[in-house]
């Protein structure tokens, strides 16, 4: 196995997207999570959120979209492919409203050459700088078949 690695400590990746109504409704339909938190504006107007909020799991999906930028470091290689081992310490700190623009920042914090892994810290912020979610993500580089 090569001693080279595809990402380095301090390397950053970013993903930005405006959360649309269709994002939330399609995600609700795909997952079956039809909670009023996500699909009932009238119920949610009465809460401190002031309206519907995106699914936390949808935010994790946006985290995944950002992590693919780190995985892209293996494009064109024949030795290894990056795969997600999962997310740790996922926390939802503030609601993300339909129409909010979120920015996901993904920063490599550790590289373990012997285990062929990287660990990143992730922050999801809204357009006004509100920290909406955080997590740690583990990527593993696995050998390709000859």
Q: Catalogue all structural domains in the chain, each as residue range(s) with its CATH number.
A: 12-143 (3.10.129.10)
Q: How far apart are CA 54 and CA 63, in angstroms?
A: 14
List the pLDDT tens digit at each of the 146 positions of the chain: 456 788 999 999 999 999 999 999 999 999 999 999 999 999 999 999 999 999 999 999 999 999 998 888 767 667 888 899 999 999 999 999 999 999 999 999 999 999 999 999 999 999 999 999 999 999 998 988 87
- What is the C-alpha R_g of the chain? 17
């Amino acid at each position: 196995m090569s001693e080279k690695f595809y990402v380095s400590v301090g390397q950053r990746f970013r993903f930005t997207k405006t959360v649309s109504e269709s994002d939330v409704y399609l995600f609700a339909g795909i997952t079956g999570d039809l909670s009023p938190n996500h699909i009932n504006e009238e119920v949610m107007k009465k809460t401190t959120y002031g309206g519907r909020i995106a699914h936390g799991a949808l935010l994790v999906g946006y985290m995944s979209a950002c992590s693919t930028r780190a995985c892209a470091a293996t494009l064109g290689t024949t030795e290894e492919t990056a795969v997600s081992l999962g997310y740790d310490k996922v926390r939802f700190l503030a609601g993300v409203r339909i129409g909010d623009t979120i920015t996901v920042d993904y920063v490599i914090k550790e590289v373990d050459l012997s285990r062929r892994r990287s660990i990143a810290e992730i922050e999801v912020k809204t357009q006004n700088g509100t920290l909406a979610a955080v997590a740690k993500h583990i990527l593993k580089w696995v050998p390709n078949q000859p």
